[in-house]
Structure 1
Amino acid sequence: MYQFWHRTGSHWRSSMLEMDAEFFENVWRTNCFGGFLVGRESARRMSAAGGGAILYTGSVSGLIARPKLAAYASAKFGQRAVAQALAREFGPRNVHVANVIAHGLIDGDRLNSAFPAKNRRPTDGMLDIDAIAETFWQVIVQPRTAWAHEVDIRPYCEPF
């Protein structure tokens, strides 16, 4: 699992000139095309069942592209577009579609085992996993009269 993420996740490349096409396509397939497939099949089943919720995990890279993250940013921009299109089409069918943007370091095992980031951040300067889950839950239980489509979460010290 880690090797796959490492090859296709938000891994930096030093330059667009050094980014091979296979890497770019794999990142797109994972985030954008995968989001389309899961969203389409979920919306199909949920609308037939009378409703549901589809939540995407977005990224600040889906809002702001940086050269070293061009593959990931374009994939997350695409995933965001898929989420918006699904929300507009299936919202009237009682399917709540939202994009939750997690902006910042996530205080989890994968990050903490790979990088000693906590040494460079205040004690509460990373996104807490339980707090992320609570945000997702709050989006799921929103009344139809006030559905959020996009929620941006970040620790207090993360720059905008």
Structure 2
Amino acid sequence: MPESVLIVGAGAGLSASLARLCAKDGMKVVLAARDTEKLAALATETGAQVQTCDVADKNSVAALFDWADGAIGAPDLVVFNASKRARGPIVDLDPDEVLAATTVTCHGAFLVAQQAARRMLQAGRGTILLTGASAGVKGYPQSAPFAMGKFGLRGLAQSMARELHPQNIHIGHFVIDGGIRTANDQRESPGEDKLLDPDAIAESYLHFHRQPRSSWAWEIELRPWKETF
């Protein structure tokens, strides 16, 4: 049977590149997001199934995986790409907006990973990949909520890797350290490569999923050659 991938928090950019690559590789693709209308063209292009999911709502996440049980069974690969930001000086931040941001970025990842892990443990295999950012290893000024969410995401991944790797569940955390190129991006000149190419990131994700378990990584940092660190 072909492998399956469930991309949660799907949209343009990295998620779209990953959906195309996985479909080309022969995998069944499922795209999940709060706004599914934006996924129509990508679903047609890749043959993906589309489901609505709000990662901040535990019932919505559970419903997604209950649906997947009948549609694709235990997914071979689950990718968490959802995140939410709240910007501003620490003294001015709205506590409700901060809670909403950290709930999506971190608690939402926990909800998705928990549902995925339950099924993968029963199946005896699987990969869960969490998309992090520079903010997961260094907090920037006026960006405390994003750092809180991404630091928590990294901690979740590290803990899961230590717990689940010995049970044949591969966990990966990706530090995306730099801007991701978009269509018709004006932030760089052609061939400059100072932004991350989403197709190149997707290649790394699929390679990570394919790693032999004798040499599993749990984390990888990706950055353009011109990015300082």
Matches within 5 A, 1:84-123: 84-109=158-183, 112=185, 116-118=186-188, 123=192
| SS of equivalent to 2:217 | coil
Cα distance in structure 2, aligned partners of 1:62 and 1:147? 21
Name the structure 2 match of 1:141: 210
Counterpart amino acid of 2:144?
A
Higher relative contact order (CA 8 A, sep 6+): 1
Q: TM-score, normalised by structure 2?
A: 0.61
Name the structure 2 match of 1:32: 106
Q: CA 1:122–1:10 in 2, change beyond 3 Å: closer, same or farther?
A: farther
Cα distance in structure 2, aligned partners of 1:65 and 1:124? 25
| SS of equivalent to 1:75 | helix
Counting helix residues as a fraction of each chain, which structure ranks higher?
A: 1
Divergent runs of 4+, >3 A:
none
Cα distance in structure 1, aligned partners of 2:163 and 2:111? 15
Q: Which runs of 5+ in 2 are unaligned?
A: 1-34, 39-82
Cα distance in structure 2, aligned partners of 1:38 and 1:126? 29
Counting strand residues as a fraction of each chain, which structure ranks higher?
A: 2
Name the structure 2 match of 1:5: none
- Residue 62, structure 1, aligned to residue 62, structure 2: no
Aligned residues: 149
Q: Which runs of 5+ in 1 are unaligned?
A: 3-7
Q: CA 1:136–1:69 in 2, change beyond 3 Å: closer, same or farther?
A: same
Q: TM-score, normalised by structure 1?
A: 0.86
